[in-house]
């Protein structure tokens, strides 16, 4: 059994990320499995080395140790290309020259939620300045953008398989990606992992917790004098892993984890942590 942390180093790790990491870790640890780390750093504009470094430090401080060497998506272009070629050989990929405005129009005209695949018949060259889309049973998601950036949904499936991940825990905000990822696994002959969703941490107004609500990174809390155990206690209480906010270690939470109720979909941060 293998779980994973898959942070995007586009900012410092915050309460929401830490909570997902904690649940991923507890889930496989309580089953006697291991956990691997993957740095999802292919958004070159937003991802920074200093954030990656800080993620390593924060996970270690919180006692959320991982197994083996981390995988960096930025190192994996060859792997993604070879899967792309496999899909091209199966005639499942086409180039698309539509811009956002055209796609919006196509959606409006056909009264459908999905892009209508207007470019399939154009047979544009796959190595041209176009986005690449996959032909699926319910639409044509982009797998590589025209600037050659890979889409999250494409690479995550390849990497989970490469890292032999059997137990995925990710934010409830990514739930809508599950069906496409499962479809892609089927095309590639990969096994299906078990998937659970971690509650989303909310700011006072009910939107997803973010920097605009205040200093919410672990680094900020540590600077204000919070210990990793105090933070873990508050996060664990927010997740209903324990009744009170008293400090605890991640290890302490493993034994009672078996009965965790995955149905909780959000947590009001301010009920558990000062913002």
With respect to ligand GLU, which residue has the nearer C-beta, 8 or 217?
A: 8
**Residues 248 and 232 sit within 8 Å (Cβ to Cβ):** yes
Cβ at position 80, least distance to ligand GLU in Å: 15
Told to check if 3 binds ligand GLU by CB under 6 A, we report no
Told to check if 156 binds ligand GLU by CB under 6 A, we report yes
Told to check if 6 binds ligand GLU by CB under 6 A, we report yes
Told to check if 245 binds ligand GLU by CB under 6 A, we report no
**Residues 260 and 241 sit within 8 Å (Cβ to Cβ):** yes
DSSP state of 271: G
**Residues 270 and 205 sit within 8 Å (Cβ to Cβ):** no
With respect to ligand GLU, which residue has the nearer C-beta, 40 or 58?
A: 40
Counting residues that bind ligand GLU (by CB under 6 A) gives 8
Q: Residue length, the chain?
A: 275
Binding-site string for ligand GLU from residue 187 to residue 226, where x marks contact by CB under 6 A and - marks none: ----------------------------------------
Q: Is 113 left (phi over 0), alpha (psi -120 to 50) or beta?
A: alpha
* Alpha-carbon span 113 to 169, nearest angstrom: 27
**Residues 235 and 20 sit within 8 Å (Cβ to Cβ):** no
Told to check if 170 binds ligand GLU by CB under 6 A, we report yes
Q: Is the dihedral of CA 84, 88, 89, 92 positive or negative?
A: positive
Told to check if 174 binds ligand GLU by CB under 6 A, we report yes
H or E segment to which residue 4 belongs: strand 2-5
With respect to ligand GLU, which residue has the nearer C-beta, 99 or 192?
A: 192
Q: Which stretch binds ligand GLU (CB under 6 A): 86-94, 106-114, 169-177, 187-195?
A: 169-177
Q: Which stretch binds ligand GLU (CB under 6 A): 166-174, 211-219, 231-239, 244-252?
A: 166-174
With respect to ligand GLU, which residue has the nearer C-beta, 67 or 110?
A: 67
For 65, the token pair is 């140790």
The single residue listed with the structure tokens 């889409």 is: 151
* Alpha-carbon span 37 to 71, nearest angstrom: 6
* Alpha-carbon span 148 to 146, nearest angstrom: 5
Q: Per CB under 6 A, which of residues 27..86 are in contact with ligand GLU?
A: 40
Cβ at position 18, least distance to ligand GLU in Å: 12
Q: Is 2 left (phi over 0), alpha (psi -120 to 50) or beta?
A: beta
With respect to ligand GLU, which residue has the nearer C-beta, 67 or 122?
A: 67
Told to check if 13 binds ligand GLU by CB under 6 A, we report no
Told to check if 237 binds ligand GLU by CB under 6 A, we report no
Told to check if 7 binds ligand GLU by CB under 6 A, we report yes
Q: Which residues are near ligand GLU by CB under 6 A?
A: 6-8, 40, 156, 170-171, 174
């Amino acid at each position: 059994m293998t779980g994973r942390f898959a942070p995007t180093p586009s900012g410092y790790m915050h309460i929401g990320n830490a909570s997902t990491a904690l649940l991923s870790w507890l889930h496989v640890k309580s089953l006697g499995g291991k956990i691997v780390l993957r740095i999802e750093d292919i958004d070159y504009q937003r991802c920074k080395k200093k954030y990656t470094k800080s993620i390593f430090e924060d996970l270690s401080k919180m006692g959320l140790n991982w197994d083996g060497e981390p995988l960096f998506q930025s190192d994996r272009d060859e792997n993604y290309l070879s899967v792309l070629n496999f899909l091209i050989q199966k005639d499942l990929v086409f180039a698309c020259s539509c811009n956002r405005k055209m796609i919006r129009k196509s959606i409006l005209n056909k009264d459908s939620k999905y892009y209508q695949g207007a470019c399939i018949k154009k047979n544009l060259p796959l190595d041209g300045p176009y986005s690449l889309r996959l032909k699926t049973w319910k639409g044509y998601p982009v797998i590589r953008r025209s600037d050659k950036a890979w889409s999250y949904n494409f690479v995550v499936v390849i990497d989970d398989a490469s890292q032999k991940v059997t137990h995925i825990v990710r934010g409830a905000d990514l739930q809508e990606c599950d069906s496409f990822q499962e479809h892609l696994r089927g095309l590639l002959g990969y096994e299906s992992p078990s998937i659970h969703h971690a509650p989303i941490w909310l700011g006072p107004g009910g939107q997803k917790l973010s920097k605009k609500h205040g200093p919410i990174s672990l680094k900020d809390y540590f600077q204000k004098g919070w210990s990793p155990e105090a933070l873990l206690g508050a996060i664990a209480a927010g997740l209903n892993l324990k009744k009170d906010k008293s400090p605890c270690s991640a290890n302490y939470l493993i034994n009672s984890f078996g009965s965790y109720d995955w149905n909780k979909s959000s947590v009001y941060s301010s009920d558990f942590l000062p913002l």
